[in-house]
Amino acid sequence: MALDELLETTLIGMGYELVEVERLSHNKLIRIFVDKEGGITIDDCVEISNHLSRLLAVENIDYGRLEVSSPGLDRPLRKIKDFLRFKEEVIKVKLRIPMDGQRNFVGVLKEVNDGIIRIEIDGKLVDLELSNLAKARLVPKL
């Protein structure tokens, strides 16, 4: 089983969502970003870290250090369920291929339908294809 799949299955069973996995080979670091409704606490990170340390040992996955963290206030949006969960939030999007000469957009996420997200920018609705997104993140509320 691939590392991402193993982590996702395990974390779902624990009541968490796997947001992102970074694996740095030069120092054998595995960095895991997790989330749940209401956000992640230090206690959550400790619980996940302890559980995953044992799991990785049992699965004979070679690593030097494991880091578990929340995705932060500017959480990345990658899966359709991320976009559905954060409707009505302000997001920042970067496109792979520019649309009308523009690659970066910031607006309120209004809809997600059939591979298209609709965001409101200055009172105007703009449709963007999910397949054309290079990056999408929440804009932190400060």
Hey, what domains does the chain have and what are their CATH numbers? 3-69 (3.30.300.70), 80-138 (2.30.30.100)
Residue 37 β-bridge partners: none
CA distance 17 to 58: 22
Residue 70 confidence (pLDDT):
95
Mean pLDDT by 10 residues, the chain (142 residues): 90 95 88 93 96 95 94 93 94 96 97 95 95 96 84
Q: What is the pTM of this model?
A: 0.81
Residue 141 confidence (pLDDT):
86
Residue 134 confidence (pLDDT):
97
Residue 26 confidence (pLDDT):
80
Give percent helix, percent strand, percent coil of the chain, each to the nearest 5: 25, 45, 30
Residue 31: CB partners within 8 Å, gap ≥ 6?
A: 21, 22, 23, 24, 67, 69
Residue 142 confidence (pLDDT):
81
